A and B are shown apart, each in its own frame.
Chain A
C-alpha cells in the first residue's frame, strides 16, 4: 500500500464524503462506475470514470493512456521512409489516410511534389480508407445502440473496400504505400472497373443503413437531442471532422486549404447539420460516405497518365526546417508537425490526432446524461483508441 501524505489523506476523505452525498434531496448514495478499460463499448482500452447517482451521471472523465505506444518518440529513431509503417497504426481503420499528411510534410520540407497521377491515386486511396473507416462506424453505431444486424452488413460491405485497398497496395489494413515523392506502385489492371462497381455497392449500403437505422424511431429517440454540442463549445474544445460539422460549422480541410491533392478537381459537397446532437453527428458521417463514393467515382474517370514517382535520391535526407501539414482524416483533423535537422530521420514529430481532441469534450458532454447515453454519445463522437493514445 502506498503511503499518503496527510494532505492527500484529508482530500481523499473529503472526496469520499462528498461522493456519498451526491443527491442531497433524496440522500441517495452515489456510485463510481469504471466504464473500461475492458468494456465492449470502448473500442479498445479507453476508461471513462463516471460518478453515478442512480443511472444519472454526475460527472465523468475519460482516462486515456492504456494503449500508449509512444509513436512520437519512436519516429525519432526511424528514417523518414520508415515512419509510415509506424503511423499506419494510429487510426487503424483508415490507415492510408494517416500516411498522407506526414508524407506531405516531408515533401514540403524537401521542396518536391508528387506527380499528378500519384496525387490522384493518393486522393482515391485516401477516400477509400475514409469509406472503410466510416462505414464500419455506421455498423458499429447499431451495436452500441443494441441492434446487432447493421454491424454485419458493415463488415460485409467494408470488405469490398478493403479488397480494393489490398489490390492496389498489397495490404488490407496497413498499406504502407505512400512514399516521399509519390507512390510505391501504379494501380493494377482492372482495378478501376472493380472500384466503379464497389462504389455502387457502397451507395446501396448507405441506403440500407439509412433505412434500417436512421429511419428507426427508437434510434431517433435515442440519439436526437442527446449529447448536444453547441457551435461555440465545439469550436472551443477544438473538435474537428464530422463532430464539428454536425454542430453547424462549415469547415473541411479538404476544401479549405490547398494541398497537392486532387480534391479541388472534383465536384462534391461538405455536409453540415445545425442540431449538434448525436443524430446529427451520425447523419453527417453517413452523408460523408456518400460524398466519398462520389469523389472516388469522379477521380477514377480522370486519372492523368504519367509516372507515379518523382525523382528522389536513394537515401532520403530531409533538409533542415519545420513543416505542419494537416488533412481532413476520417476522424477529423490530423496533422503532423515535423522538425528536421537535416538527418535521415525526423528530429521531432508532433502528431495532432483527431480523436484525442474529440474526446476532450466528454467531461462537459456527459454531465447529467444516463448511463445508456454515455454509450450513444461515445459512439457518435467516434473515436478510435489508437488515435487517442498514439
Chain B
C-alpha cells in the first residue's frame, strides 16, 4: 500500500511526485472553483431572488475565469507603511495550510498523497497554520481595521480549535485509529445491530460530535455567522482590507479551498468518506476492493463534500453575525462542555460494548 499503484501501474518516483503535485493542485483548486460557482454564484443568487452570472458562458459558468482574469489584471498595491515581506508572505501561508491539509485526505483505496498514521491529528494541527497567515496579514497591513480583524481571527480560531479536536476524539475512540483511511474503512465495514447495508457512518452514532464539528468548521472557515474577522459592515474587510489583485485572489481561493478540504474531512470522519458500504460488493478489507474504486471513490467523496459545503453555505447565507464576545462564550460555555460529555459517553459505550 505504501507505493502508489493507481490503475495497477507501477510508476517511477519522479512520475509519482509529478502526479502528486498535479493531484494536489486539482484537489485544492477544483473544489474551490466548483464551490464558488455552484454555491457562491448560483445558490446565493437563487436564495436572494437574483439570477447570478448569466452572460459569460452557458449559465455564466465561465464567470469564474472572468473574475480570475480581472484579479490578475489588477495592480498589486501594498500600503506605504506595510511590512512588505510579511505582507506578501501572508496569503501564501494561508494557501499553504490548505495544501498541507489535503495531503492526508484519502480519495480512494490507493488514491492518496500520504498514508499518515496520525492523519487527523496532523490535519487539525496544520489547519491552525492559516491563523498565522491571517494574523500577520492583519498586522503587516498597517491598518487599524486589518489589525482588529487579525486579532479577532486569532482569538476566534484558537477558541474553536478546541471543540473541533474534542468533537473528533469521539470518532477516534469509536474507530480506534487516527489514520483517516482506517476511519473510512471502519465506517464502511461496520454494521449497525448486525445489519451492514449502510455500514456504520459515524454521523449516526456521533451526531453530537458531527454538529459540534460543523459549527467549529464554520468558525474555522470564518463563514457567517462567525465571520467577524472579515465582517464587511464593521471592519470593511478585516485582515483582507489592504490586499488587492492576485494576493486577494489567493486569500479568496484559500477561503473556499479550505472550505472544500474541511468538508472532505468532515465527510471522511462522519459520512463514510470515499467508500460505499463494503457489504454491497462483498468486500471484506482494503485489499479486496476492486481497482475502479480509485476512480469512483474521489467522485463519491466529491459528492459528499458538496453536500457538506451546501450546509455550510446555507447557514452562511441566512444567518446574521455573532459578536466576538458572544462567540467566545458560545465556544467555551456551550460547545466544549457538550463535546466533553460526548467523549465521556462515547468512551463508556466503547468499553461497554
Task: Pick the residue among A143, A152, A373 that contacts B323 (CB under 8 A).
Answer: A373
CB contacts (< 8 Å) of B233 on chain A: these are: 40-41, 143-146, 375
Q: Give CA–CA (A147, B322) in the complex, Å.
A: 10
Beyond A146-B233, A152-B48, A371-B148, whether A55 also contacts B324 by CB under 8 A is yes
Instruction: Give the distance in Å from the alpha carbon of A33 to the alpha carbon of B241 in the complex.
Output: 15
Give the interface size bracket for B toward A: 20 to 34
Chain B residues with Cβ below 8 Å from A31 are: 144
Q: How many residues of A contact B (CB 8 A)?
A: 30
A41:B318 contact, CB within 8 angstroms: no
Q: Assess whether A311 is interfacial by the CB under 8 Å rule.
A: no
CB <8 Å contact, A148 and B317: yes
Which chain A residues lie closer than 8 Å to B73 at the CB level?
A: none
Enumerate chain A residues within 8 angstroms of B232, measured Cβ to Cβ. Answer: 40, 146
Contact A218 B234 (CB under 8 A): no
In the assembled complex, the CB of B14 is this many whole angstroms from the nearest CB of chain A, namely 47
Please, how many angstroms separate the alpha-carbon atoms of A142 and B235 in the complex? 16
Assess whether B319 is in contact with A218, with CB atoms less than 8 Å apart.
yes
A383 to B225 Cα, complex, angstroms: 25
State whether B319 touches A372 (Cβ < 8 A): no
CB of A370 within 8 A of chain B?
yes
Shortest Cβ gap from B327 to chain A (Å):
10
Q: Is the pair A216, B49 in contact by a Cβ cutoff of 8 Å?
A: no
Does A222 sit at the interface, judged by CB under 8 A? yes
Q: Please measure, in the bound complex, the distance between the C-alpha atom of A45 and the C-alpha atom of B316, giving whole angstroms.
A: 29
Asked if B320 contacts A218 (CB within 8 A), the reply is yes
Residue of B with least CB distance to A216: B320
**A147 contacts across to B, CB distance below 8 A:** 224, 318-321
The yes or no answer to B326 lying at the interface (CB within 8 A) is yes
Q: Mark B215-254, 1 if CB is under 8 A from A, else 0.
A: 0000000001101100111111000000000000000000
Question: Would you call the interface of chain A mostly helix, strand, loop, or mixed?
Answer: helix
Nearest Cβ in chain B — how far from A163, in angstroms? 16
Contacts of A374 in B (CB 8 A): 234
The one of B145, B234, B325 in contact with A375, judged by C-beta atoms closer than 8 angstroms, is: B234
Given contacts A147-B319, A213-B320, A372-B321, contact A221 B48 (CB under 8 A): no
Q: Mark A139-175, 1 if CB is under 8 A from B, else 0.
A: 0001111111100110010000000000000000000
**Interface assignment of B62: CB less than 8 Å from any CB of chain A:** no
Q: Say how far B148's CB is from chain A's closest CB, in angstroms.
A: 7
A39 touches B320 (CB 8 A): no
Q: Counting CB contacts under 8 A, is B47 at the interface? A: yes
Question: Are B317's CB and A145's CB within 8 A?
Answer: no
- Whether a CB of chain A sits under 8 angstroms from the CB of B350 is no
A373 surroundings in chain B (CB, below 8 A): 323
Residue of A nearest to B152 (CB): A55
Given A31-B144, A370-B324, A373-B323: A149 in contact with B234 (beta carbons within 8 A): no
6 A-B residue pairs with CB within 8 Å = A39-B236, A143-B233, A146-B233, A147-B320, A152-B50, A222-B321
3 A-B pairs closest in CB distance: A146-B321, A152-B48, A145-B320
Other contacts beyond A40-B233, A222-B320: 10, CB < 8 A: A143-B233, A145-B321, A146-B224, A149-B48, A152-B50, A213-B320, A221-B326, A370-B325, A374-B234, A375-B234
Interface residues of B (CB under 8 A from A): 44, 47-50, 144-145, 148, 152, 224-225, 227-228, 231-236, 317-326
